[in-house]
Amino acid sequence: MSEFDLINQFFKDSTLKRDDILLGIGDDCAILSPPPGKSLAVSTDTLISGVHFPKSTRAEDIGYKSLAVNLSDLAAMGAEPAWVSLAISLPDTDEVWLKDFMRGFNELSQKYNVALIGGDTTQGPLSITINITGFISEKLALKRSNANVGDAIFVTGTIGDAFIGLKAALDNNLKTGLSSRQLNYCLQRLNRPQPQIKAGQLLRAFNSAAIDISDGLYVDLKHICKASGVGACLALENVPLSTELLAFYNGKPDWQTIINAGDDYELCFTCPQHQVTEMTQVMKTHQIEATCIGKMVEKPGVECWNKTECLVVKSAGYNHFL
């Protein structure tokens, strides 16, 4: 199958249409019409087989996750998703694999009304690069630099589940102590993260800083601290953990691992104290779990307190070059 046959069969007509796409897949460039008065939020992520997902990962899950991690970046800005371009390097043109990949990709693109507008295909080791664009009013963006001393720190969902899924995916003989249902939950958290788009958009009503937790809670919160020129104090006993994770650790969480494990794709965000009650009520109304885990302080860095003991953090999350 030629490159152009591949594009026509699997990409050109397989995704949804939008009125703001004046010219889509098939020409040298896409021509787009952003809405008046909105700024563009743009992000790019690359996923490489054996680095960002195990080589045994199903094609459908790879398609889903490749879009999910990019949507998560838009969620962290409070943006409305719109367009994506896809550059994919393939060892060969496996039609069954491509069909499954696009099934997972389209499941999420249809849910969030995201249209594929172009990209590139080439032969080589499996890698996927997505460039995503969304709309945001610049004044409402959830910038990392928005945090202030005294703000409360929150996270959505639960932390650490994807790490257990990754360990299980890499070692079929791993003794997790989990039931098949519990283990499947952790694998789903790894392969099918839920972008917190709605949470990010709701936070635009508050003076929040936000980041998506991709490299680990500890290091990602440090990014907010650095951008805002403040520090953070975490109460580890308040960090939300799933029953599956607690079962894996026999009720004794390994905090060094949990706060440094990546792939959660939840939001970590701040909220001024005088807006906390209103914000938490808004989240509850929309059935979004948001848990207060600490506060912003003057002292630089991130302190992690396990009740009366300050944890000495031995690593700092995922790093591509270490």
Q: What confidence score (pLDDT) does residue 155 get?
A: 98
Are residues 207 and 256 both part of a single domain? Answer: yes
Structural domains counted in the chain: 2
Q: What confidence score (pLDDT) does residue 15 get?
A: 67
Is residue 186 predicted with pLDDT exceeding 70?
Answer: yes
Confidence of residue 321 (pLDDT cuts 50, 70, 90): very low
Are residues 135 and 148 both part of a single domain? Answer: no
**318 assigned to some structural domain:** no
Which residues are 130's β-sheet partners?
45, 86
Share of the chain above pLDDT 70, in %: 93
Span 291-302, pLDDT tens digits:
999 999 999 999
CA separation, residue 109 to residues 74, 125, 190, 235 (Å): 13, 25, 19, 36
Could you tell me the pTM of the whole model?
0.93
Are residues 116 and 242 both part of a single domain? Answer: no
Are residues 184 and 37 both part of a single domain? Answer: no
CATH number, domain of 31, equals 3.30.1330.10
Are residues 161 and 125 both part of a single domain? Answer: no
Answer positive or negative: Cα dihedral of 225, 207, 275, 262: negative
Q: How far apart are CA 106 and CA 120, in angstroms?
A: 17
Span 245-289, pLDDT tens digits:
999 999 999 999 999 998 999 999 999 999 999 999 999 999 999
Are residues 23 and 158 both part of a single domain? Answer: no
CA separation, residue 181 to residues 54, 127, 187, 243 (Å): 21, 30, 10, 12
Q: What confidence score (pLDDT) does residue 68 get?
A: 97
Answer positive or negative: Cα dihedral of 292, 44, 188, 200: positive
Q: What confidence score (pLDDT) does residue 6 get?
A: 61
Domain that holds residue 11: 3-140
Are residues 120 and 92 both part of a single domain? Answer: yes
Q: What confidence score (pLDDT) does residue 174 get?
A: 77
**302 assigned to some structural domain:** yes
Q: What confidence score (pLDDT) does residue 177 get?
A: 80
